[in-house]
Amino acid sequence: MPSITVIVQLGLVFAVFVLLLLSSAAMVYAERKVAAFIQQREGPNRVGPFGLLQPFADVIKLMFKEELRPGGADTVLFLMAPVISATAAIAAFAVVPFGAKTTFFGLLDQPITLQVADVNVAVLVVFAITSMSVYGIVLAGWSSNSKYSLLGGLRSASQMISYELPYGLTLASVLILANSLSLTDIVNRQEGYWLGFIPRWFVFVQPVGFLIFMIAGVAETNRAPFDFPEAEQELVAGYHTEYSSMAFAMFFLAEYINMVTVSAVATDLFLGGWHGPFLPASLGWIWFLIKISALLFFYIWMRWTLPRYRYDQLMQFGWKILLPLAVVNLLATAAGVILLGV
Partner 1 sequence: MGFELPLFYVFAAVAVVTSALVIGQRSPVYSVMLLIASFAALAGLYVLLDAPFVAVIQIIIYAGAILVLFLFVVMLLNAPKEAAPWERVAAGPRRAGAVLGVVLAGELAWALWHAALSREPAGGGQGMPAHAIDSVRAIGQVLYTDYAFAFEVTSLLILVAMVGAVVLAKRRV
Query: Under the rule (CB under 8 A), what is the footprint of partner 1?
Result: 74, 77, 119-121, 124-125, 127-129, 131-132, 134-135, 138-139, 141-142, 150, 153-154, 157-158, 160-161, 164, 181
Q: Which residues touch 279 (CB under 8 Å, ≥6 apart)?
A: 286, 287
Residue 64 three-state SS = coil
Reported as half-sphere exposure (CB side, CA atoms, 13 A), residue 29 has a value of 20
CB burial class (10 A; 0-12, 13-18, 19+) of residue 46? exposed
Tell me the three-class secondary structure of 203-265, residue by residue. HHHCHHHHHHHHHHHHHHCCCCCCCHHHCHHHHCCHHHCCCCHHHHHHHHHHHHHHHHHHHHH
Which of 141, 284 has the CB closer to partner 1? 141
Shortest Cβ 143–partner 1 spacing (Å): 8
Which of 132, 315 has the CB closer to partner 1? 132
Please name the amino acid found at residue 291: K
* Tally of helices (H runs) and strands (E runs) in the chain: 13, 4
Please tell me the distance from the alpha carbon of residue 8 to that of residue 115, in angstroms, as a whole number.
11
Reported as half-sphere exposure (CB side, CA atoms, 13 A), residue 122 has a value of 23
Shortest Cβ 134–partner 1 spacing (Å): 6
Shortest Cβ 157–partner 1 spacing (Å): 5
Shortest Cβ 253–partner 1 spacing (Å): 21
Which of 132, 211 has the CB closer to partner 1? 132
Nearest C-alpha neighbor of 138 from the set 156, 115, 121: 156
Which of 108, 181 has the CB closer to partner 1? 181
Which of 160, 247 has the CB closer to partner 1? 160
Shortest Cβ 310–partner 1 spacing (Å): 20
Which of 10, 128 has the CB closer to partner 1? 128
Shortest Cβ 92–partner 1 spacing (Å): 12
Cβ–Cβ under 8 Å, residues 285 and 97: no
